Structure 1
Amino acid sequence: MTIKLIISLIPFFINLNNLNINEWGKTGHRVIAQIAQEYLTDNTRDSINKILNGKSLVSISNYADEIKSDKKFDKYKPWHYLNIGLDDNYEEFILNKKGDVVQAINYSIDILKDKNISKDEKAFYLKLLVHFVGDIHQPLHVGRLEDRGGNDIKVKWFGQQTNLHRVWDSQIINSHQMSYTELSKDLPILTLSEISMIKNDSVIVWLKESQKLSKSIYNDVENEINLGYFYKYKYLDKLKLRLLKGGVRLASILNKIFS
């Protein structure tokens, strides 16, 4: 292989490497959508099929990330997260006029309930809702402003330089080496009463759960930035429970909207 050919291939390999940065982001959202599909009523499933022209929730679960590169959708970027103090109450919080993940979920629900909204607009906000319910269950999407939800906290994951947010967005689940279909079958098994409690929780409860978990996550990296097997052992089951709760709650919202 000539030097000229090697140089010409460098951008290609760089791009391939970048594709993996948000891989669990995609897998995690697909898991939540897959779980939700299993809990939909027949009426809800029929309504969603009509709105999405037969597409599955899994297939549209990452749409809100996919449109980030298009400037005409810039106003939706703040809808993916909420920067809030670890001990702050959202009910007393000064809301961001540009929106946050809680406002985004509630607004999308209102749009989908409106009978005067067009099918195309309903499809758009359904895609956003599916994604944002996933985002609020990722604890560092409810993180501190000063470090942008862990993005500015440098850590090592099995010896490789990274940041705390990326560990939770991609690297814990990637190290588990499962597809979204495999992972959706490897989540905690809950009783019917536990499922009933989870699906009836409010959006603020989801937020507070992530806020509480993010506090633990931040506390851990104050003492240790070299993360590996022990860290994965400590948090993998907690992360799986967030995925399961996200799926059950998404289904519950959709069933209420389309009942």
Structure 2
Amino acid sequence: MHNNSRENLSMRKLISGFLIAGLLLTPTKLDAWGFQGHEYIGEMTWNYLTPEARAWVQERMDIVGEDSLATMTTWADRVRGTEEGRWMGPLHFANVPPDEDYFDLERDCPNRRCVVGAAMNDIEVMLDPTRSAEEQARALRTFTHWITDMHQPLHMGYQHDRGGNDIRVTFFGSETNLHRLWDTVMIRGMDDMPSPAMQAQLHSLPEPRDDWHQALVDWANESSDLARANAYPNAEDGAALGERYFRQARPVVENQLILSAQRMARIINDAASRSESAQ
């Protein structure tokens, strides 16, 4: 088979997959990365944890009744429509004004009522060895979601379009919105990505940061920049998107999944190490 024929066949399969994925999407689902993306990140994170950190996480997962770090990452979305989770709605995102070029905690996250502030609050509990295992378990459960949400660029998108939720687009002919496109549709078309365990082998952990609060602000700014540079351009309301948009967006999506796992792992390893040192 000639190269052009193979490429055409590959593209037809890709388009078919996206059409099926579009049909499977429910119009009310607003989960960042979708469950598939969150669980991919959680499983990759587990592969980066030290033995001490795995034991620390396992003890806390047992307390809150979670079976794995992968499924724990989805808890905040699983309870989102319930009384228990409804108050956390504003904690899934943050918005940088279109006329500003950086995220500012005081301006964009008053009283820490946004995804960045929520992650900060949880880190403070996780890193404090004087806090109970129960308190740390609850903080870990939500932190694993906030850190993954932060790395989906449109969770640092604009308020006026609700992070792309109000921008209707077609993707390979299937109707969706820009937020959902980045959450779930493109990831479902990336089934040739390495497994989470293989990704962890391919990408070594970066050096830890001295100030996790500043790190969160830096990562929020990275996501905001990616939203402006990669998600929003050429994706105005009513746009028809396809191969070109996907080819540009795919490496961004995959890299954000990897970075989210690495950064989550670094923070959990730090928390476990502090608990171990305090004993």
Scaled by the length of structure 1, the TM-score of the pair is 0.82
Between the aligned partners of 1:23 and 1:142, the Cα distance in structure 2 is 11
Q: Are the aligned partners of 2:41 and 2:196 in contact in 1 as well (CA < 8 Å)?
A: no
Q: 2:26 aligns with which of 15, 18, 34?
A: 18
For structure 1, the residue ranges without an aligned partner over 5 or more in a row are: 1-15
- Contact 2:95/2:157, CA 8 A, preserved across alignment: yes
Match of 1:212 in 2: 225
Look up the match of 1:5: none
- Using the alignment, how far apart are the partners of 1:184 and 1:80 within structure 2? 27
- After superposition, residues 240-251 of structure 1 pair within 5 angstroms as 240-251=254-265
Instruction: Specify the alignment match of 1:27 in structure 2.
Output: 36
Alignment correspondent of 2:175: 161
How many angstroms does 1:98 deviate by?
6.5
Per-residue CA shift, 1:51-75, capped at 9, x if unaligned?
1128321121100100111123322
Following superposition, the deviation at residue 219 of structure 1 comes to 2.0
2:111 aligned residue (97, 101, 105):
97
Determine the C-alpha separation between the residues in 2 that align with 1:105 and 1:173. 24
Alpha-carbon separation, structure 1, partners of 2:32 and 2:166: 19
In 2, Cα distance between the equivalents of 1:59 and 1:84? 30
Matched, 1:182 2:195: yes
Q: Which residue among 242, 247, 261 is the counterpart of 1:233?
A: 247
Cα 1:214/1:23, change in 2 over 3 Å? closer
Instruction: Tell whether the 8 Å contact from 1:24 to 1:171 is kept in structure 2 after alignment.
Output: no
Question: What SS class does the counterpart of residue 156 from structure 1 fall into?
Answer: strand
Cα distance in 2 for residues equivalent to 1:165 and 1:154: 9
Decide whether aligned partners of structure 1 residues 45 and 188 sit closer, same or farther in structure 2, where only a CA change above 3 A counts.
closer
Match 2:90 to one of 71, 78, 82: 78
The 2-side partners of 1:229 and 1:188 are apart by: 29
Instruction: Tell me how far 1:257 sits from its aligned partner.
Output: 1.1
**1:78–1:98 Cα contact (<8 Å) kept:** no
How far residue 93 of structure 1 moved from its aligned partner, in angstroms, is: 4.4
1:117 matched to 2:125? The reply is no
Paired residue type of 1:78: P
CA distance in 2 between partners of 1:258 and 1:186 (Å) = 23
- Note closer, same or farther for the CA distance 1:233–1:89 as it changes in structure 2 (3 Å cut): closer
Name the residue aligned to 1:127.
Answer: 141
Question: How far off is 1:47 after superposition?
Answer: 1.0
- In the alignment, is residue 57 of structure 1 matched against residue 50 of structure 2? no
Quote the Cα distance in structure 1 between the aligned partners of 2:143 and 2:85: 15
Q: Verify: 1:38 aligned to 2:38, yes or no.
A: no
Aligned residues: 239
Deviation for aligned residue 1:39: 1.1
CA RMSD after TM alignment: 2.8
111-120 or 70-79: bigger deviation: 111-120
More divergent stretch after superposition (206-215 vs 115-124): 115-124
- TM-score of the pair, normalised by structure 2: 0.77
CA distance in 2, matches of 1:133, 1:215: 20
Question: C-alpha distance in 2, partners of 1:93/1:234?
Answer: 33
Identity rate, percent: 28
Q: State the AA in 2 paired with 1:203.
A: L
